[in-house]
């Protein structure tokens, strides 16, 4: 099936030392045959992802971006341990094969995991997948089903317990993202003070403490090539932690662009959630609550939080462009989206019954 996620040529400046990598992997993984071939998966604005192909085995290597020295933002050991700890309880995590702390191998820490061959939806639905509206809905259900499974993973008394921090997760997130926005604000950006004050005032108590992904979207799940409505893998665990499940759902829905959303929202669309039969954001919330038994009469707080968090992420990227720290022209328009979302969130807050 051509819709299976494919790796391509390694981007200039992001090459790996094949000989050193090969020598290391042969000490960690028995039975590797032939000379490895290295290709690179698309994306990778954060950690970089490569396909390593031997004659008898495929595996995926993850490493930090080149030139990045902030280990806390690209902690490969933490990501490896999270996935290793999750694997016995959540089979949608790929099998972890090796973690290398020796920076003399590739100039950084990195880890290697089994490849899960499948389809990853980025932007638009592949032409090969001609889903009916009913199948689109089934796909949405499968995506939420896996999120529900994750939120039910037992973590107390396991290695995952190291992710837990004392205190109220909701309060910590509102405070933290508010501080990040203020630090990233540029002179042409709204101040968002009314939004931050509303979030702080309307902040609910934490629903419970569970394993959350923190970046759960279509382009981080792998679909079965034989049954493309079924999720068989979940990727990109670098932000996973122990937190509030409804905050996790709110983060996911910030990227859930519907067909009738205004044009600035459509600029943000990175997944085919606009197609006929795809659930609306409210339908996603309703289905999640049905599956979990949670009673959430008003999701406004979590929706505003998810969008504000997205605002902060966009503004942090725009800040780098505004100050000449990157020349990537794609980031120039982010300020327009930030300005639009300020008005959208102000309107949302004004109409909220919280």
Q: Which helix or strand (DSSP H or E) is residue 246 part of?
A: helix 245-253
Three-class secondary structure assignment of 285-322: HHHHHHHHCCCCCCCHHHHHHHHHHHHHHHHHHHHHHH
Residue 128 phi/psi, 5-degree rounding, is: -65, -25
pLDDT at 263: 85
Tell me the C-alpha distance between 221 and 144, whole Å: 11
pTM as predicted: 0.92
pLDDT at 68: 52
Q: Please report, in tens digits, the pLDDT of each residue of the chain (354 residues total).
A: 568 888 999 988 899 999 999 999 999 999 999 999 999 998 655 689 999 999 999 999 999 888 655 454 568 999 999 999 999 999 999 999 999 999 999 999 999 999 999 999 988 999 889 899 999 999 999 999 999 999 999 999 999 999 999 999 999 999 999 999 999 999 999 999 999 999 999 999 999 999 999 999 999 999 999 999 999 999 999 999 999 999 999 999 999 999 999 888 888 888 999 999 999 999 999 999 999 999 999 999 999 999 999 999 999 989 989 999 878 788 899 999 999 999 999 999 999 999
Q: Which helix or strand (DSSP H or E) is residue 77 part of?
A: helix 76-86
Q: Which of 54, 11, 4, 65 is nearest to 29 (CA)?
A: 54
| Burial class of residue 347, CB neighbours in 10 A (0-12, 13-18, 19+) | exposed
Tell me the C-alpha distance between 235 and 242, whole Å: 17
Question: Under CATH, what is the fold of the domain 18-114?
Answer: Phosphorylase Kinase; domain 1 (3.30.200)
Task: Give yes or no for a contact between 41 and 5, defined as CB atoms under 8 angstroms apart.
Answer: yes
Q: Where are the domains of the chain?
A: 18-114, 133-351
| Dihedral angle over CA of 210, 288, 240, 60, nearest 10 | 130
pLDDT at 70: 45
Q: Let me know if domain 133-351 sits in CATH 3.90.1200.10.
A: yes
pLDDT at 320: 87
Task: Give yes or no for a contact between 79 and 237, defined as CB atoms under 8 angstroms apart.
Answer: yes
- Decide: helix, strand or coil at residue 253: helix
Tell me the C-alpha distance between 335 and 267, whole Å: 12
Tell me the C-alpha distance between 164 and 323, whole Å: 36
Q: Which of 142, 141, 193, 202 is nearest to 171 (CA)?
A: 202
Q: Which helix or strand (DSSP H or E) is residue 184 part of?
A: helix 169-184
E strand segments, the chain: 37-40, 48-54, 57-63, 96-100, 110-114, 210-212, 221-223, 231-234, 241-243
């Amino acid at each position: 099936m051509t819709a299976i996620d494919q790796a391509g040529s390694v981007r200039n400046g992001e090459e790996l030392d094949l000989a050193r990598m090969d020598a290391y992997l042969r000490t960690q993984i028995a039975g590797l045959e032939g000379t490895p071939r290295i290709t690179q998966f698309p994306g990778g604005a954060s950690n970089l992802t490569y396909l390593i192909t031997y004659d008898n085995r495929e595996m995926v290597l993850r490493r930090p971006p080149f030139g990045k020295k902030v280990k806390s933002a690209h902690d490969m050991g933490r990501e490896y341990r999270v996935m290793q700890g999750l694997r016995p309880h959540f089979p949608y995590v790929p099998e972890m094969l090796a973690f290398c702390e020796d920076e003399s191998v590739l100039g950084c820490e990195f880890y290697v995991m089994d490849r899960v061959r499948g389809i990853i939806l980025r932007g638009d639905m592949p032409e090969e997948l001609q889903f009916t509206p009913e199948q689109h809905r089934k796909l949405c259900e499968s995506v939420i089903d896996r999120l529900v499974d994750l939120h039910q993973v037992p973590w107390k008394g396991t290695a995952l317990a190291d992710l837990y921090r004392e205190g109220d997760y909701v309060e910590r997130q509102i405070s933290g993202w508010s501080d990040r926005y203020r630090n990233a604000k540029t002179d042409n950006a709204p101040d968002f003070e009314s939004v931050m004050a509303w979030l702080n005032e309307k902040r609910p108590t934490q629903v419970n403490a569970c394993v959350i992904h923190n970046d759960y979207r279509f382009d981080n799940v792998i679909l079965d090539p034989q049954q493309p409505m079924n999720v068989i893998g979940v990727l990109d665990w670098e932000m996973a932690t122990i937190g509030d499940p409804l905050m996790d759902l709110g983060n996911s829905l910030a990227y859930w662009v519907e067909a009738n959303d205004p044009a600035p929202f459509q600029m943000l669309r990175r997944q085919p959630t606009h197609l006929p039969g795809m659930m609306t954001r409210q339908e996603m919330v309703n289905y999640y609550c049905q599956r979990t038994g949670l009673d959430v009469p008003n999701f406004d707080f979590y929706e505003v939080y998810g969008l504000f968090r997205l605002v902060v992420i966009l503004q942090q990227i725009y800040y780098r462009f505004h100050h000449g720290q990157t020349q990537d022209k794609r980031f120039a328009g982010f300020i327009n989206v930030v300005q639009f979302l300020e008005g959208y969130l102000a309107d949302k807050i004004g109409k909220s019954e919280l």
